[in-house]
Structure 1
Amino acid sequence: YCSGGRQSFLSLASLDLQAGVDCYGAFVTGTPPEGMPVQMEPLKHLTKDLTGPLLGLFGNDDQYPSPAHVDELEEELKAHGKPYEFHRYDDTGHGFFAVDRPAYRPASVMDGWEKILRFYGENL
């Protein structure tokens, strides 16, 4: 989730993995806003190196990644012919899997877990 989603993308591009899941990974595309304490480079240039399919779960109310960032990643995946499956959830923002946060969205989470289990079942 979040930075873990970014690390999942990075791992799928750097290691010989069969599949990866990106749950709202920030800054795979796009850059952190000015003043953010940690600055990082986007990872989209590594898309060509992905070793397996990518499942992405995103909230349409998220800022990082925003729907435009998700669109940008989707275009990059298409351009490189990489297999992927993206799902976007309305009325859902960043951190929607975290049960201890106001952003928690049970319906999105239940659907997301079903998709994760199916995706790994098909690809591992």
Structure 2
Amino acid sequence: MDIHETRSRLSADSTLDKTGLRKDILSLIYSYRFTKIKVKDGGREVWIYGGPERDYVIIPGAFCSCMDFTIRVVSRGETPYCKHLLGLEVARRLGKYREIEMEVQDVIKVVREVFAKGFSRTLHRILYKY
């Protein structure tokens, strides 16, 4: 699958309304696990999925750092997107996500933590104030 097929399938997916979605997708959305990080004075944004065990970096309609995306979407071409990309698309349409603003160096730190450790302590500190 290529990025164009992923984007077109996500935008045309009939399961993107609330009916017919799998329970695992709905739990991603209604637990506000998606966070939009806006870069201060940059006009850019980064999306993070904060899972119970791992965090993932997401580029809407294009990329997720989860293993399912790497294996089933990129390597095998079995499906055009993972559950996180689908969940993010629905969450964006329903407005069911968190939004924060950070300095660019902090955003870079969050992304590095997610890729290196699978979890961003920096982001969770900000979101949960601990």
Same fold by TM-score greater than 0.5: no
Q: Relative to total residues, which structure has the larger helix share, 1 or 2? A: 2
- Report which of the two structures shows the higher radius of gyration computed on alpha carbons: 2
TM-score by length of 2: 0.31
Higher relative CO (Cα under 8 Å, sequence separation at least 6) belongs to 2
Q: Relative to total residues, which structure has the larger strand share, 1 or 2? A: 2
TM-score by length of 1: 0.32
